[in-house]
Amino acid sequence: MAKKKKRKKRATIRVVKRKKTVKRKKKKKKKKPISYPPQITLATDKNNSYYNVNKEYTKEYYGKRMDFKNKVYSAMGKIFEDILKPRNVIDVGCGHGILMDGFSCPCVGIEASDEGVRQAKERGYRTYQHDLRFPISLGRIFDVAISIEVAEHLEEKYANIFIDNLISLSDRILITASPQKEKYHYNPQPKNYWVKRFEAKKFLLNKTTNIIVDRMKREIPPVRDYLYKNLMYFEKY
């Protein structure tokens, strides 16, 4: 009898399936909530010396009357950003938010008037309504705080509150303050008045003021020279 050929055992390859490793997403730490100011009802003084911003700053006011600001203010914002190089900005008394359009960094606005707040929000800016005669606390610090054409509109008894509000928001402050006596200018003061008050709070007028002014002289129309003649840049020391 013929011998049966022994079948060669085939090598069996054992396939081990690897378990899929599921990467667990790290839970993001919840940021502590920031306490932002409530919307304050704009009340007039007993002697009615503080004008009602909602009657003055209306939709009509921010219309054709603001054409020059729409051209000049955004250009100013670009100049400020080029020189100061802020990581973020808060515009105190931001109106309808046109100055913030000149910045490429994140901007936040504070404004008293209903219409100003509405329009600034429409531009896409986080904007808080607050009467600057009252202390404000946002619970955070910004790289630069800016306040253009605001200081002179607050009565002198609110000057320190105005300054305290600014220095609570940043260690770098850029403001304009008109010395001209005009309608709704309740505290027109020369530069030296503001310099002394900021110095008392340990904020010094910085040489960068001259750099900003020189640039504005070249790029801002002379008819708006008051915007750079009254400009001051302070830093905490």
CATH assignment of the domain containing 178? 3.40.50.150
pLDDT for res 53: 85
In a domain, 48, yes or no: no
Its domain, for residue 212, covers 53-236
Query: Cβ atoms within 10 A of the Cβ of 15, count?
Result: 5
Confidence grade of residue 27 (pLDDT, cut at 50, 70, 90): low
Total number of domains in the chain: 1
Render pLDDT for 100-139 as a digit per residue (tens, 0 to 9).
999 999 999 999 999 999 999 999 999 999 999 999 989 9
Render pLDDT for 147-167 as a digit per residue (tens, 0 to 9).
999 999 999 999 999 999 999
- Torsion over CA of 227, 96, 145 and 234, rounded to 10 degrees? 10
The structure's pTM equals 0.79
In a domain, 122, yes or no: yes
**Residues 107/88, Cβ–Cβ less than 8 Å:** yes
DSSP letter (8 states) at residue 60: T
pLDDT for res 21: 57
Confidence grade of residue 71 (pLDDT, cut at 50, 70, 90): confident
Residue 196 above 90 pLDDT? yes
Mean pLDDT of the chain: 84
Helix extents (H) in the chain: 53-56, 67-84, 114-122, 159-169, 191-200, 208-219, 226-229
**Nearest partner of 110 among 182, 157, 65, 162, judged by Cα:** 162
In a domain, 45, yes or no: no
In a domain, 172, yes or no: yes
**Nearest partner of 112 among 65, 55, 176, judged by Cα:** 55
**Residues 145/92, Cβ–Cβ less than 8 Å:** yes
pLDDT for res 215: 97
